[in-house]
Amino acid sequence: MSEYFLVEDIKSKKILLLNTKEQIIKYIGFLVKNLDKSSGFKIGVARIDVQDLSKDKLNTWLDMEGLE
């Protein structure tokens, strides 16, 4: 199991997985600058088996339905 930071776009039902604290801090800064444009986000931590998640999926938006 590996730990990833998870950002969920509530409107589009997509998630962004970030694998370092530096990436999530940078992304939170981006969200704060663009608050008036965003539809709403949730931020959390996900523990995911690395075998189930290929490296090309990291730091890209994923469809929520694809992970359930």
- What's the CA gap between 58 and 7, in Å, rounded? 12
Position 31 scores a pLDDT of: 72
Predicted model pTM? 0.41
- What's the CA gap between 37 and 39, in Å, rounded? 7
Residues of the chain with confidence (pLDDT) below 70: 1-4, 10-12, 34-68
- For the record, the structure tokens of 63 come out as 């469809």
Position 23 scores a pLDDT of: 76
Decide if 15 contacts 5 (C-beta within 8 A). Answer: no
